[in-house]
Chain A
Amino acid sequence: MSIFRAAGGAGCHGAGTARLQERENTATLKDMKKIAIVGNPNVGKSVIFNSLTGAYVNVSNYPGTTVEVSRGKGRFGDAGYEVIDTPGMYSLLPITEEERVAREFIMEEKPDIVLHVVDAKNPGRMLPLTLQLIEAGLPVILDINIIDEAERVGLEIDTRRLEEELTIPVVATSGISGKGMDELKRRISEYKAGKAISIAYNETIEKCIKEIEDQLKGEYIFSRRAIGLLLLQEDPEILEIVEERERTIERIKEIISKIKSVHANPFHFSITMRRQAVAGEMLKHILKSRRPDRVSFQEKLNRMMINPVTGIPILLVAVYFGLYQFVGVFGAGTLVDFLEEVLFGEYINPFFIWVFESIIPWPVIQDLFVGEYGILTLGLRYAVAIILPIVGTFFISFSILEDTGYFPRLAMLVDRLFKKIGLNGRAIIPMVLGFGCDTMATMVTRTLETKRERVLATLLLALAIPCSAQLGVILAILSAKPLALLLWAAVVTLVFLLTGFLAARLMPGERPDFYMELPPLRLPKLTNVLAKTVSRMQWYLMEVIPLFLLASVLIWAGRLIGLFQLVIRGMEPLVKIIGLPEDTALVFLFGFFRRDYGAAGLYDLQQEGLLSGNQLVIAAVTLTLFVPCIAQFSMMLKERGLKTTLGIILFIFPFAFLMGFLLNILFSFLGVQL
């Protein structure tokens, strides 16, 4: 699941290198040979891509990191190649959106070489896709990757012999350590398509494919045999393509429905079984394994993570150190203090103020740049001194956890709970990411399988997941009163679960299946963690910060023409109802422009001692639930459309205040004094 899917062409998949190269070379790219990297999820396609091109796209130990095609350039032998990374696919017959993207891509781009990357630990499971690719008449090179891990668990693969059996080039590599990469590049530069093997299916199927093949007259990227097989397996996209090109489509449909009526198992099943059997037979002599006697440390840790008794304490430890200590105390505390007070407070802001006051005579313009809410003094200061350290430390923590392979295990632990709120374990990734940046998390919800899940996840992110900027400030405000902090956390968690539960009831739809590979636990590589953090920060700076600067301008304009005062006056009674001083109306208004503005405004009020403990909790809860920031709002519009977004906002706005109101009543009823 990439955090960096191109968002309307502006965002990017990895660091900018690949894109820049592409722009520079669009003229020559046409003459270059194309290599498409395909394969199951989490086999290291992106690592191979990075190694072949020298570019960087996001890599993590999580199936489905890449959800979009990314391109780069490489030179092997005497020729330049365009290298293209694709999302993971299990089979040429797609189930998920990513698989569809990958297959469509192959059909449209007609690559000169299809590099099939497989996990050396599981050739038996992945070789059937190689067979399918060969069957489709594609020019395949097989890359047996992660060979080092396979050797460690005692697996030996005779690549020479496999090459003979498959009649295509086979190379063993370890993308991370670089082992075998030179060999791979050599084989790419020497590649010549040849006659490849073909699998025979049972008589019924063969006869039927033959009949369909005879009807196919159009040009296809895949072999007619493969098209016939996909039609037999009722592939809707292929059927559509064939419908466009064949006049005899009715006849083809007839052939298929005739054979279906006398076949008990779905064809998909028989065909997959046959490929599996062929692959198994092939590997019998090629794969040697000695089983290690002892259970590895990784496996022991794995067992602890997936057992709730030990898994929940592990989660708490991860949250405590990864989130609280590193992001909260170090990022939001130490770093922010230094940047905000020392760097900006003593140097940058005074400098800007001095510059603008000396060169621009008009106070109104001065105000825009260096005033109380100025673009530089407030907008930039907040962006660099508050957001950057908090979000940055969060992304580091997140990347480390991601690379260890912890998230799929967490997904497995929370699946039952998430089912109750209409989601499944897979949604853990956008939810955790939301604690970093809800805008980014909202974008990532597109990797969820059904529309219903995407809408529910978007709602919950907007309502009850505080982003790191907000979280940092709220932690700072409430940390002096542990009971208040606990209460805030409890209320927000309750709202998260309850809203999810009710929304899932109100929005009927199919129950999502949970199925997920648990990749092996790995020690994260520092370089990869940093590269990923940098590329996420880059995204953040490009997508979110401009909106924040825009917010500064809007606030300036709003104050200038008196619109803000009007809105604030309108909100004051509302704020009073929930038991807060009038001044907090401003906090809520700013909260929309930027969540952290709101929270930071609250911080100022608390510093001035204007709020009691009760009021702090009410304000923190209401502000957390209250509408998302302007960046998240625009991402919601982009991802979910106007209707859904308005629906969500219209629910959240009154609901946040209702919760504040209820808390206020509850406090006075119970006589709570925090």
Chain B
Amino acid sequence: MTIDDRAEEILESLWVGTEEMGREEVSLDDLGIKEEDKALQNLISQGYVSRDNDKVALLKEGRDEAEGTVRRHRLAERLLVDILDVKGELVNESACKFEHLLKKGIDDKICTLLGHPKLCPHEKQIPPGICCKETRESGVKLVSPLTGLKPEQSGSIAYLASRDSKKIKKLMSMGVLPGNRITLVSGFPSYVFQIGYSQFAVDREMAQNIYVRVEGEGRS
């Protein structure tokens, strides 16, 4: 049971349409395909999707497969932006090709390399894989938002997740920059962290945007 790249794209769009945008089904127009499309026929015959006139719905059997493709696409984007420093339109273009190379198992390896990121560069959720669930259960978090740290836990700042440039500027003015060491001093009622010899207090919304590569377990 294999599906080709084109079919993966269809699954991806369907997943985004149904899971993230909350629709029941997606029209052929929105998917940008024709009724007689081969990839679509293939997906229907494998029992992944169903078609009712011009509406296509994602079936239970196809959901996992679709989620996997979305996961691979977004992981690819993170890899391209964070590690390979690719910019602009190129990110999406390359990610579309890249994702098809991240076959079963490789995506988890990339995911681990990146520290099980939760969001893609466009701030969309990356569906968690088995590797993410395992690390969460074993309590080892590689990259976590500051809000996930325990008091006294430190690490180095991995990236800032906000797209709001005002928030980013505020964070940067406090020395919250990738590479800097950060220690969570207190997590309630607001978040207090230390960078260098300075301590800062921020609210949850700001703290959530700071992703930290955690170094060790702090005292609980």
Binding site for B on A (CB under 8 A): 90-91, 93, 95, 119, 121-122, 124-125, 150, 153, 155, 261-266, 268-269, 272-273, 276, 302-303, 306-308, 408-409, 411-413, 415-416, 419, 424-425, 511, 513-518
Pair B175/A412 contact, Cβ less than 8 Å: no
Q: Mark B179-201, 1 if CB is under 8 A from A, else 0.
A: 11000011011101001111111
Q: A276-B177, A411-B201, A424-B203 are in contact. Are A95 and B190 (CB under 8 A)?
A: no
Q: Cβ of B189 and Cβ of A412 under 8 Å apart? A: yes
A121: which B residues are within 8 A, CB to CB?
196-198
Q: List 17 A-B contacts (CB under 8 A).
A: A91-B169, A95-B169, A122-B197, A155-B197, A262-B90, A269-B168, A269-B172, A273-B178, A276-B180, A412-B190, A413-B190, A424-B203, A425-B201, A513-B203, A513-B205, A515-B170, A517-B200
Cα–Cα, bound, A413→B191 (Å): 10
Q: Is the CB of A515 within 8 A of B174?
A: yes
Which of A122, A268, A416 is within 8 Å of B198, CB to CB? A122
Interface check B29, CB cutoff 8 A? no
B205: chain A residues at CB < 8 Å are 511, 513
Known: A95-B173, A269-B172, A515-B202. 19 other contacts (CB 8 A): A121-B196, A122-B175, A122-B197, A125-B174, A155-B197, A262-B87, A264-B91, A266-B165, A268-B169, A272-B177, A415-B189, A416-B189, A419-B203, A513-B170, A515-B174, A516-B200, A516-B202, A517-B174, A517-B198
Contact (A412, B192) CB under 8 Å given A95-B166, A125-B198: yes
A416 CA to B169 CA, complexed, in Å: 22
Bound-state CA distance A409–B81 (Å) is: 38
Residues of chain B within 8 A (CB-CB) of A514 are 190, 201-203, 206
Which of A272, A306, A411, A419 has the largest count of B CB atoms less than 10 A from its CB? A306
Q: How many residues of B contact A (CB 8 A)?
A: 41
Task: Please determine whether A90 and B88 come into contact, CB atoms closer than 8 angstroms.
Answer: no
Chain B residues lying within 8 Å of A269, measured Cβ to Cβ, are 160, 168, 172
B119 at the interface (CB under 8 A from A): no
Say yes or no: B192 contacts A518, CB within 8 Å: yes
In the complex, the chain A residue whose C-beta lies closest to that of B160 is A269
Which residues in B have some Cβ–Cβ distance to A below 8 Å? 81, 86-91, 121, 160, 165-175, 177-180, 185-186, 188-190, 192, 195-203, 205-206
Given contacts A124-B196, A514-B203, contact A306 B173 (CB under 8 A): no
The answer to whether B190 and A125 have CB atoms under 8 Å apart is no
A140: min CB distance to chain B, Å: 19
Residues of A within 8 A of B90 (CB): 262
Query: With A and B bound together, what is the CA distance between A400 and B23 in angstroms?
Result: 60
**Interchain CB contact (< 8 A) of A125 among B160, B175, B188, B189:** B175
Task: Choose from A264, A308, A517 the contact partner of B81 (Cβ within 8 Å).
Answer: A264
Interface hub of A124, A125, A419, A425 (most chain B Cβ within 10 A): A125
Contacts of B202 in A (CB 8 A): 513-516
Is A125's CB under 8 angstroms from B168's CB? no
Q: Considering only CB atoms, which chain A residue lies closest to B81 in the complex?
A: A264
In angstroms, Cα B91 to Cα A262, docked, is: 10
